[in-house]
Amino acid sequence: MSDPTPIFAVDGPLANAIAGFRARPQQIEMAQRIAEAIKGNRVLVAEAGTGTGKTFAYLVPALLAGGKVIISTGTKTLQDQLFNRDLPTVRGALKVPVTIALLKGRANYVCHYHLERNARDGRFQSPQDAADLRAIARFAQLTQSGDKAECADVREDSMAWVAATSTRDNCLGQECPNKEECFVMEARRNAMEADVVVVNHHLFFADVMLRDEGMGELLPACNAVIFDEAHQLPETASLFFGDSVSTAQVLELARDTRSETVSGARDCIALIDHTRNLEKAARDLRLVFGNESARLSAAQASEREHFDAQVEALEKALADFQAVLDTQAQRSEGLANCLRRSEEMAERLASWRKPEARELILWVEVFAQSLALNATPLHVADVFKRQLEAQPRAWVFTSATLAVGKADFGHYCRELGLAWMDPPPLTAVWGSPFDYAQQALLYAPAGMPDPNAPNYSERVAGVALPLIRAARGRAFVLCTSLRAMRRIHELIVEGLQHAKDELPVLLQGEGSRTELLERFRRLGNAVLVASQSFWEGVDVPGDALSLVVIDKLPFASPDDPVLAARVEHMQRQGLSPFIHHQLPRTVINMKQGAGRLIRSERDRGVLCICDPRMIDKSYGKVVWRSLPPMRRTRLEEEAVAFLHTLAPPRRLD
């Protein structure tokens, strides 16, 4: 069936199979355009506003297409939702004999080899880690998939998972003694045989570039690739088309080599000693930056005392380690794999110190416990365009936030190389079916100071407090920096205490994102103060969320080394970095943050954007016009009154 329209009819298969299903004109049009793109092997870039039902709009033509389709999502959570809920629902409604598979990165699957080796070694940082590893061992005996998302007894962020899974670096591949029972191999086989394969963007790019996880075999065989949450692709592509060496990788190599030496070359004391030397060199490099976390260009990092010397010392320690390991590598597959890893690491480190002529941004990222030396391509357009043109197939890029203004996809298409394709990509925009004028109010408070003013966080908290009290909690306060987040959280807690208003106030970092969202939904009257990780991919429909406060327009820091290099490059080309890069990125991020508020036809609420630049600056109109068509006000009393109509009655104790 080339036209999917009948599937969405009021008496069609979806309506008969799904309780409460309602056809939307935008959804039907989107499905039609995707079906045409798949049939014609075209590139389609499509923005579909919140509530369009874009998941069903691409799943229906994908399942009816008859060929192999890869669906790539922004997060593993969305991956699981597609595979476990949406795909089976649509397949059941259509009654088509389509096979589906879920493929994640190898770190998501239990590794029998590493689980057994680390359980035998018995070296754990805490009794909880040891207990978690025993629980994972029991899970490995029962599970069919080995997917850690199915192991409810162990937290996703438990350190035991590091000991129970493999990475691209330490996987033994075909040389592994446990290869016949390997969960990763089984997932790959299922993906190769399936008609529809669900992956995520990180896996897609890792596989395309590294030919490691099986996508190198999957991609040539497929007829269509559909990217959901496609606004994330430029950043993800930059990550995987570049190179990185981190002190965490060095420490992992040293630990793995020591374990393999104990198992297969116990008499080689020198190799054990060199693992210790390698660990010391990695830690000494991290200690150059003390307790700070930072993102610096390579030139800025070189200005730090001892940085260049410690990078050189790490390179020498790695070479000395590799020379001894080379004499022992034939004694076990594990040691041979460690040698391969050390050779690749040495090559990446040498390339970072003396890069080739290709255009790369060299920069350093310092974390709490580690440091990474990164080489990021100045632009990914050429590399990505080659992937698109390698073989005729359809490519669909969709998200709620791709366009700037009403329908300008220029920025997005330039970033990914789509702008220079022949024929050019098809584009389309479908607005949300929600009645924003009735459901939501956009409040831009008057009299706000410049966002760089020293008291700006205090003013934001002052704007947020009466709104939070009027809404009886049920609020997200989204901040553009961790420093502002912590200060605004502190002020909101103080303000509520002073008013004797006992509303729970949650802070990003007090638990995992999943845990915080569960608490937020369960409490029903909470305030969550958060930063960048809560701006997108967060879905809280219903009464638990009626207010979103955003402190500033989310412009990337001008000090960011990657942005600074791209700005300089665009200036050399005679382009305006602000107009062609910074503003479009900010608009897309802003639309994501604003999109947290209205998630269903029944939702109502207030979006408060504190930044005066949206009103006072000429470029603010681009942001303003890109947001959903909410009713707008600059008066606090109107916003408070609107929230009073939504808030549950105050309890009288």
Mean pLDDT of 14-38: 91
* Residue count (the chain): 653
What confidence tens digit (pLDDT) does each residue in 522-564 have?
999 999 999 977 887 777 877 889 999 999 999 988 888 988 9
Per-residue pLDDT reduced to its tens digit, 140-160: 999 999 999 889 888 887 889
Element (H, E) at 349: helix 333-353
- Report the Cα–Cα distance between both ends of the chain, in Å, rounded: 62
- Residue 122 backbone class (left: φ over 0; alpha: ψ -120 to 50; beta: rest): left
Band (pLDDT 50/70/90 cuts) for residue 126 is confident
Q: How many helices (H) and strands (E) does the chain have?
A: 29, 18
Q: Specify the pLDDT at position 557.
A: 84
Residue 455: what pLDDT? 95
Pairing of strands 394-399, 475-478: unpaired
Q: Which amino acid is at 262?
A: V
CA distance 308 to 301: 8
Highest mean pLDDT among 21-25, 67-71, 233-237, 401-405: 67-71
SS (H, E, C) 436-474: HHHHEEEECCCCCCCCCCCCHHHHHHHHHHHHHHHHCCC
Mean per-residue pLDDT for 103-131? 86
CATH number for the region 5-99+194-239+380-430 comes to 3.40.50.300
Q: Three-state SS across 538-588? A: CCCCCCCCCEEEECCCCCCCCCCHHHHHHHHHHHHCCCCHHHHHHHHHHHH
The mean of the pLDDT values for the chain is 90
* Residue 253 near residue 169, CB atoms below 8 Å: yes
Q: How confident is the model at residue 28 (pLDDT cuts 50, 70, 90)?
A: very high
Domains of the chain, by residue range, sit at 5-99+194-239+380-430, 106-184, 243-377, 436-646
Tens digits of residue pLDDT in 176-204: 899 899 999 999 899 999 999 999 998 88
Strand order through the sheet with 224-227: 100-102, 196-200, 69-73, 224-227, 394-399, 43-48, 426-430
Say whether 396 sits in a helix, a strand or coil. Answer: strand
pLDDT higher at 653 or 40 = 40
pLDDT digit string (tens) for 412-422? 999 999 988 88
Distance of alpha carbon 286 from alpha carbon 307, whole angstroms: 9
The CA-atom distances, in angstroms, between 38 and each of 58, 196, 384, 394 are: 10, 14, 19, 5
- Residue 653: the pLDDT is 41
Measuring CA to CA, which residue among 533, 519, 526, 541 is closest to residue 597?
541
Q: How does residue 406 score in pLDDT terms, banded at 50, 70 and 90?
A: confident
Query: Binning pLDDT at 50, 70 and 90, where does residue 279 land?
Result: very high
Contact at 8 Å (CB) between 206 and 240?
A: yes
Mean pLDDT, range 241-267, rounded to an integer = 92
Q: Give mean pLDDT, residues 322-346.
A: 94
Structure-block tokens of residue 212: 């490691």
Question: What fold is seen in the domain 436-646?
Answer: Rossmann fold (3.40.50)
Does the pLDDT value for residue 461 go beyond 60?
Answer: yes
592-644 pLDDT tens trace = 888 888 888 888 999 999 999 999 999 999 998 889 999 999 999 999 999 99
Domains 5-99+194-239+380-430 and 243-377 share a fold: no
Calculate ∠ Cα 564-570-575, nearest 5°: 135
Name the pLDDT band for 214 (thresholds 50, 70, 90): low
Among candidate residues 312, 314, 293, 296, the one with its CA nearest the CA of residue 304: 296
Predicted local distance difference test score (pLDDT) of residue 344: 93
DSSP letter, residue 159: T
243-377 classified as CATH 1.10.275: yes
**Among 87-91, 356-360, 416-420, 469-473, which is the least confidently predicted range?**
356-360
Q: pLDDT-derived band of residue 652, with 50, 70 and 90 as boundaries? A: very low
